[in-house]
Amino acid sequence: MKAVRLYEYGGPENLKFEVDVPEPTLGADLVLIEAAAASVNPIDWKIRSGARQKDFPLTLPAILGRDVSGVVRAVGSNIRTFIPGDRVLALADATYAEVVAVEGSLLTHLPEGVNLVDAAAIPLVVLTGDQLVKLAARAECGQTFIVAGALGSVGRAAVHAAKKLGVHVIAGVRARQLPEAPALGVSDTVAIDDESAIARLAMVDGVIDTVGGETAAKLFAKVTNGGSFGYASVFPDGVSATNPTVKVTRVFARPEASKVREFADDIRDGKFVLPISQRLPLHDAAKAHALAQKGGSGKLILVIRDAALQ
């Protein structure tokens, strides 16, 4: 099968497109997916570079990728909820490949009305955003939370999840993005790159942070005693000591197939929007990684199979 493999840690050029990689084998609890697409997430290039080697060790050569959408090719003997031909998506591993093996419990059906290729953008970011809100920040109905990086993919998911809980959301965005923020369905915004704007903020119950760095330190100061700070990126050393009553928790997304389906349903119904910035062929994975490292809004999709699958 065609796949992209990493042979050594380093730059994007270390990703090698190959056409004769062995396909995964089918186990009793597995589903083989003919992948339509994968997406590129920040964790992918951080793993590739070696920056996250401690948290996510690889056996090289390795196939990267956490998101997959596609069509079921075959199911293991213990699988009862999927059949060949089903359109599916999942948070999985080794998804930069034509065939991906996924545990049946991690897989969900893709609702009609959602584009099969673009669906690959969904799993990791929506699970990270949802779990930032519920597991890391432990936000509750009626509370007020700042979502930092609200127009990023994870930030959008966090805003959506928080609003569904009944949380009052203050969208934290860059000053130049302020005109775009109302599209998130929020009434309050703050420019997180404007120190005076942050200073004018009233104290909040907590922060849901996707930005990290100095911004995280400044927003931490706005959390009331006993509040919470959930983050997905990097939290500055020593900052939590300035207010030990604030609970600081990092989230590592865990699979939850029903939640992926819930967000997919919301996309179908127009309740949640996840912008796609570019769609590139699988053989351009190195280019996609280089683009991802430059930052920007919108998801990058690696198209693995042609539109005939849709």
Q: Give the chain's residues under pLDDT 50.
A: 308-310
User: pLDDT per residue over 169-224, tens digit each?
Assistant: 999 999 999 999 999 999 899 999 999 999 999 999 999 999 988 889 999 999 99
Name the β-bridge partners of 166.
Answer: none
Contacts of 308 by beta carbon, 8 Å cutoff, 6+ apart: none
Between the CA of residue 73 and those of 2, 119, 255, 301, what are the distances in Å?
16, 18, 22, 22
**Residue in 260, 302, 261, 240 with CA at minimum distance from that of residue 12:** 302
**Residue 54 tokens, joined:** 């401690």
d(C-alpha 165, C-alpha 167), whole Å: 6
Between CA 91 and CA 97, with CA 92 as vertex, the angle to 5 degrees is 120
Between CA 88 and CA 93, with CA 90 as vertex, the angle to 5 degrees is 130
State phi, psi for 63 to the nearest 5 degrees.
-100, 125
d(C-alpha 234, C-alpha 107), whole Å: 29
Predicted local distance difference test score (pLDDT) of residue 197: 93
Between the CA of residue 255 and those of 126, 261, 262, 268, what are the distances in Å?
11, 12, 13, 21
d(C-alpha 3, C-alpha 168), whole Å: 44
**Residue in 150, 106, 126 with CA at minimum distance from that of residue 251:** 126
Predicted local distance difference test score (pLDDT) of residue 238: 81
Q: Is 62 exposed, middle or buried (0-12, 13-18, 19+ CB in 10 A)?
A: middle
Between CA 62 and CA 69, with CA 66 as vertex, the angle to 5 degrees is 115
pTM of model > 0.75: yes
In this structure, the dihedral spanned by the alpha carbons of residues 115, 116, 118 and 122, taken in order and rounded to 10 degrees, is: 110
